[in-house]
Structure 1
Amino acid sequence: MSSSVLGSRRMASTIANSLSFKLGVPLRLHPHPTHTSASLGFTTFRRSYVVSSSAFANQNREYVIVGGGNAAGYAARTFVENGMADGRLAIVSKEAYAPYERPALTKAYLFPLDKKPARLPGFHTCVGSGGERQTPDWYKEKGIEMFYEDPVTNIDIEKQTLTTDSGKLLKYGSLIIATGCTASRLPEKIGGNLPGVHYIRDVADADALISSLEKAQKVVIVGGGYIGMEVAAAATGWKLDTTIIFPENHLMSRLFTPSLARRYEEFYKENGVKFLKGNSLKNIEAGSNGRVTHVKLEDGSSIEADAVIVGIGAKPAVGPFERVGLDSSVGGIQVDGLFRTSVPGIFAVGDVAAFPLKIYNRIARVEHVDHARRSAQHCIKALLTAQTHTYDYLPSFYSRVFEYEGSPRKIWWQFYGDNVGETVEVGNFDPKIATFWIDSGKLKGVLVESGSPEEFQLLPNIARSQPIVDKAKLQNASSVEEALAIVGSSL
């Protein structure tokens, strides 16, 4: 490599990576924040990535991505699109597989074999957004160096090196942390690690669960959120005795209203799923063979189970990167609107990033596939090009359940915006339903179940525009279509 080219790259890297910035850390920011002495100041200094060939087999790790999920896959694609991957990019992952679309693991991956389950390589990134399928061969063809099943165990910020579990020492110029989350686990002392107790975060977890479902008769699911709803729906495809237990009063308590949750619960019950609401797990018991046999609840009752699936949330996988700088309010690694951390040359994207949610003037950490994709793309474009506009994300969530072959009805809802304020519900769930969140006269959030493609496309426009709506008029709407037309006319 010539000295002139090398110098140009160093200069570009310095300009892109080492801009100083300040980021306020309160949960909610003022629309026009003033940075006080409490703000974190970030210094500027030159990063270098070239070391002697005697120290490393490959000198060209100008960019290193740590992680093997959606964010890593979409970041890799963006490097390729900008002509900066071949011989320059390495990906270090604890996974045995190339990056894939993780949401499949609690949906079609869990279907029985006779109901067309999803399998790799079918859902490698970036097929989830209609992009090219990035198989292991794709990374080879693009000149991207892959390190599988070798998680990073240590970082030396001053020397710009990573140490992996196998003892590899990797030099980086720019580092993108895309480690995502890990599943929250039950304590070992109450049976959280017994054979037959499952957590889902990767393909190996899902494979182990399928192995249990093939032999199981009675399944207990701990948690009434995303994981609980999606796994319970898949379990009905296996015709298993399925019970969901959770301490809240209704499903998806962080998003659904009690009325909306009741509609879903009724549908699940019609499909054979039982609910134990307002109850907490005390411990899980095993039989003489060491496998789970019962789940005991705080009220003293006991449920038979030969498979237990735990879905009680997730924690950002900050691992060895705590020194980079964590956010105390939402967890995760603190970044600015270009996903730069407090250390020049180090970035964080996806689930693990605590970023400024511009539309609502607060710091957020979003565990969602759409954010993983968009944040990765935004970060890499800012790193490699002259792009300087800050990330402007609109929160969105969705779920798809009961989609297996032979299901009496497929369920698919989408939500955009913020679930704050009063709610208006329109429709009866058969065939569709919508919930609108209104705060100070403005429409802040909207959820639609069983909408048409055109209706779903309207939702982000509504949530971003936050139109003033006539609540009484919305309440009197006779159908979801009429309600969306009322809101649409306010845009």
Structure 2
Amino acid sequence: MSMEDRIVIVGAGQAAVSCAARLRTLSSGCSINLIGDEPYLPYQRPPLSKAFLTGELSVERLALKPRDWYDAQAIGLKTASPVSRIDRRERLVILEDGEQLPYDKLVLATGSRPRVLPESLTRNASRIYTLRGIADAEMLKGELLPGRRLLVVGGGYVGLEFAASAAKAGLQVVLVEAAERILGRVAASETADYFRELHRSHGVEIRENVGVLAICDTEGARRASLSNGEQIDADFVVVGIGAIANDRLALECGLETRNGVLVNENGQTSDPLIFAAGDCATLLGEAVTARIESVQNAIEQGDAVAHSLLGQIAPPRKTPWFWSDQFDAKLQIAGINSGFDRTEVKAGTRVGAQSIWYYAGETLIAVDAINDPVTYMTVRRILDARMSTSK
């Protein structure tokens, strides 16, 4: 890489900061510009549905790095600067305010956005929220008043985490899941059974196999009509039904996309000068899953792309891992459970702890460890060892 190489990173989340930080440790010569569309320093998102929402964590403590770190590392940081388009021929990133940033290599770390309910179901309703950024969480903080009624739509991890935070704050919570059960796409029925019982023990009402037909405002509340014939009144509604990759910029400039920006094992897109990392990136040819939404994946992909930008070999990939905090339960997940054909439930190493082990045939592929960090670390080491020997 020449001293004059200009690298622009579009996005200001975990993958973007990971990439920028690694780039600077590997090269003091390249110029690095990081562009975010939000008016905040790059920040961590997982606490938004938990500690930040409940007031235990401030905006300042969400920041991934302090402001002076970017200056010290000679990393240009532009916040509140949405990107309008990418001109691949001229190698320009064009901001909505008209500013043009030239690049020699470009990284897309644009993340994902929440799915929303169809407008046809909600056009006559207000106070329906999704949770992705600080602005969303700040608005929701004002809604979390004891005694209020909340409807959560979606029984994945985000919906369950928000329901738990709201119940702890003294709200009456009803959660509806259109699929047969909560956590249907991401966990075995045994894990779902544990968290269903946990939520119900804290007063959360859960309706499964129940869809939302319409939500409308009525006499100061929101009234939701459900597919089981029930009507539920709520002061506000939170929707957690999955996320969509932010791949508009890639699509509009002609890069290949498929549920995200398609990348090879080096993070390279169909344009050899453009790379992608994090929630927006879909790994081409991945056997188990195409797009992984997790902090760990964003950090590792950002780090790997930094090496690729410099023509270096990235460190070996590690076992994907995730976590979820709900009430007094800490769920730690190691591995990807796609393709499992059986599970085993095992008692944990301390009272109230348990783990669900996923197998494909005789091969252990993942674990859900609930209040059981010893089992989580044991399985993670097993899976890491297997990944390192399978290269």
For the criterion TM > 0.5, the same-fold answer is yes
SS of equivalent to 1:364: coil
Q: Is 1:319–2:248 an aligned residue pair?
A: yes
Q: Is 1:95–2:95 an aligned residue pair?
A: no
The structure where strand makes up a greater share of residues is 2
Tell me the distance in 1 between the aligned counterparts of 2:175 and 2:289: 32
Q: Is 1:153–2:84 an aligned residue pair?
A: yes
- Give the direction of change, closer, same or farther, for the CA distance of 1:76–1:240 in structure 2 (3 Å limit): same
Tell me the distance in 1 between the aligned counterparts of 2:229 and 2:67: 50
Tell me the distance in 2 between the aligned counterparts of 1:363 and 1:416: 11
- Which shows bigger deviation, 316-325 or 202-211? 316-325
> Deviation of residue 190 (structure 1)?
1.8
Partner of 2:235: 306
Q: Which runs of 4+ in 1 moved over 6 A?
A: none
| Aligned counterpart for 2:366 among listed residues 445, 464, 470 | 445
Counterpart of 2:322, as a letter, is F
Partner of 2:270: 342
For the 8 Å contact 1:153–1:319, the answer to whether it is kept is: no
Tell me the distance in 2 between the aligned counterparts of 1:107 and 1:362: 29
Per the normalisation by structure 1, the TM-score is 0.73
Partner of 2:382: 462
- Give the direction of change, closer, same or farther, for the CA distance of 1:93–1:62 in structure 2 (3 Å limit): same
**Which deviations, in whole Å up to 9, do the C-alpha atoms of 1:126-167 show, x marking residues without a partner?**
xxxxxxxx1222212322222211211111111001111111
For the 8 Å contact 1:85–1:144, the answer to whether it is kept is: no
Aligned counterparts, 1:270-285, within 5 A? 270-285=201-216
> Deviation of residue 466 (structure 1)?
6.0
Q: Is 1:267–2:198 an aligned residue pair?
A: yes
The structure number with the bigger radius of gyration is 1
> Deviation of residue 259 (structure 1)?
2.7
Partner of 1:397: 322
Give the length in aligned residue pairs: 384
For the 8 Å contact 1:76–1:85, the answer to whether it is kept is: no
Aligned counterparts, 1:17-166, within 5 A? 62-84=6-28, 88-111=31-54, 113=55, 117-125=56-64, 134-166=65-97
For the 8 Å contact 1:293–1:304, the answer to whether it is kept is: yes
Counterpart of 1:341, as a letter, is T
Structure 1 portions without partners, runs of 5+? 1-7, 11-59, 126-133, 403-408, 468-491
For the 8 Å contact 1:368–1:397, the answer to whether it is kept is: yes
**Which deviations, in whole Å up to 9, do the C-alpha atoms of 1:450-488 show, x marking residues without a partner?**
113x43322222234569xxxxxxxxxxxxxxxxxxxxx
- Give the direction of change, closer, same or farther, for the CA distance of 1:63–1:262 in structure 2 (3 Å limit): same
Tell me the distance in 2 between the aligned counterparts of 1:318 and 1:367: 14
- Which shows bigger deviation, 251-260 or 302-311? 251-260
| Aligned counterpart for 1:414 among listed residues 333, 344, 364 | 333
Counterpart of 1:76, as a letter, is A
> Deviation of residue 230 (structure 1)?
0.5
Tell me the distance in 2 between the aligned counterparts of 1:237 and 1:415: 27
Tell me the distance in 2 between the aligned counterparts of 1:193 and 1:159: 45
Partner of 1:476: none
Counterpart of 1:124, as a letter, is A
Counterpart of 2:154, as a letter, is G
- Give the direction of change, closer, same or farther, for the CA distance of 1:363–1:240 in structure 2 (3 Å limit): closer
Partner of 1:167: 98
Tell me the distance in 2 between the aligned counterparts of 1:324 and 1:441: 43
Identity, % of aligned pairs?
25
Tell me the distance in 2 between the aligned counterparts of 1:161 and 1:222: 41
Partner of 2:352: 431
For the 8 Å contact 1:438–1:444, the answer to whether it is kept is: yes
For the 8 Å contact 1:284–1:292, the answer to whether it is kept is: no
> Deviation of residue 396 (structure 1)?
2.3
| Aligned counterpart for 2:2 among listed residues 6, 9, 14 | 9
For the 8 Å contact 2:166–2:173, the answer to whether it is kept is: yes
Tell me the distance in 1 between the aligned counterparts of 2:36 and 2:263: 22
Tell me the distance in 2 between the aligned counterparts of 1:61 and 1:165: 24
Q: CA RMSD in A?
A: 2.4
Tell me the distance in 1 between the aligned counterparts of 2:190 and 2:312: 48
**Which deviations, in whole Å up to 9, do the C-alpha atoms of 1:66-113 show, x marking residues without a partner?**
012111111121122224377x111111111121111111121111x4
- Which shows bigger deviation, 435-444 or 169-178? 435-444
> Deviation of residue 268 (structure 1)?
0.8
For the 8 Å contact 2:191–2:368, the answer to whether it is kept is: no
Per the normalisation by structure 2, the TM-score is 0.91
- Which shows bigger deviation, 418-427 or 68-77? 418-427
